[in-house]
Amino acid sequence: MKIRLLCILLLLLCSASRASIVNNSIDTPSAEDSLSLVFYSLDSMGNPTAADSLLLLVSGPSGQIVYRDSMAISDGRIVCTTVRSRPIYSFSEQVSNVDGTGMPGAYSITLLAVRTADGLETPQTFGFQVISTELSDQVAVIGETDSAAVARSVWNTPQDNHMGVGSFGRYLDAEVSGLSSGSGLYARTVVAYDSTSTRVIPGAGVVVRNLGQTALLATGFTNSGGEVAFNLDSDTLILVATGTGYQFDAFDTITVAGTGVDTIFGEKFDPGTPYSSQLCRVYGWVYRSNGLPEIGATVTAQLPSGAVRSGMVIISPYAIVTETDSIGYFFLDLIPSDSLQPPETRYEVTITRSDGAILRERLLVPVAPNWRIDW
């Protein structure tokens, strides 16, 4: 009986929680900058009982002790609840108050619940991982178009401009944008023209989808001659084009029956300038899947991490709201992300209709007079 009781006590005393992923934001703390740990005090029979005080010990990524504290169980950071007449406690604290300098890495916490009357101490261990920015912001970066844009700036360049040792593009004989995309049987070239001057439009993005827009077949960017090449199978397909400073139709329909050339036209568009030179006009269009404009959709931009600073000014986290007009167009004048503190603060942009959200994405707003959102 004693051996069985001893095994139960060892299992209870050696329990540990899973690690939390947090960050250390002192100026603008959020839910991701805090810890909440559940602990208990055990009597000699292994049952939860009331504790008198709590000892706290935190070690950092290098194993050094970065924080220690002792407190009465009545401390404001400790909350007691009762489960089947047994007391269970939770300890909550902001990460920056217990992680020393806040160096990114893995931390270990030991909580020692003390019951003075019986001379009993119940140790429990926890772990947490400090990252440099909020986890939600890190997740938002995954799959973001910014990384693709950076890749294009490196790869979509003629061979002569790749002179650095180790540059993958060093031995290319043509612009990447001029190479074929897609796995179809027929070579099709798409040429983008300015509808007002009949000049070609370089750098325009072209996406090829099936007629039901349920499958992405190929993507590419027009080269210096305004051309992008695809390999496509025989079918009726949809071309979706975007380009900085241009407005294209929501989509163009092409019929592929063999090799050939297709043309698309873009009209120059000036979104105007914001009322202050310190702002960036963020604009775009929202269309339905049938190519018609989405009229009256609500577009909001807000700071999901709460209030931030711009110089000595506090920027409110409340949303800025607008609606798409009769052609599906919208714009918002926003402070560039680089002008906010902490650096690289992202806006959460949401588009909704009366029947629910269409899109939600976190974006970095550049330092520019205007910037088109490409979803």
pLDDT in the model for residue 134:
60
Do 207 and 118 share a structural domain? no
Report the CATH number that the domain containing residue 79 is assigned in CATH.
2.60.40.1930
Measured distance CA(7)–CA(276) in Å, rounded: 70
- Residue showing tokens 């997740």: 139
The DSSP code for 154 is: H
Number of domains in the chain: 3
Do 263 and 276 share a structural domain? no
For residue 350, what are the domain limits? 270-372
What's the pTM value of the predicted model, to 2 decimals? 0.48
SS3 call for 292: coil
Question: Averaged in consecutive runs of 10 residues, what is the pLDDT profile of the chain (375 residues)?
Answer: 42 48 65 82 89 93 90 93 90 88 87 90 90 61 45 47 46 51 83 85 86 83 87 88 82 87 86 85 83 85 78 76 88 87 82 78 85 76
Residues 6+ apart with CB under 8 A from 312: none
pLDDT in the model for residue 363:
84
The β-bridge partners of 206 are 220, 241
Measured distance CA(85)–CA(96) in Å, rounded: 34
How far is residue 131 CA from its own chain's centroid? 14
pLDDT in the model for residue 69:
93
Virtual torsion, Cα 117, 123, 129, 133, nearest 10 deg: 0
Q: Are 156 and 176 in contact (CB under 8 A)?
A: yes
Do 279 and 242 share a structural domain? no
- Assess if residue 107 is contained within a domain: yes
Among residues 234, 253, 268, which one ends one of the domains?
Answer: 268
Measured distance CA(297)–CA(159) in Å, rounded: 45
Report the CATH number that the domain containing residue 208 is assigned in CATH.
2.60.40.10
The runs of H, that is alpha helices, within the chain are 2-13, 135-141, 145-155
**Helix or strand (DSSP H, E) at 122:** strand 120-131
Listed residue (178, 195, 314) closest to 265, CA to CA: 195
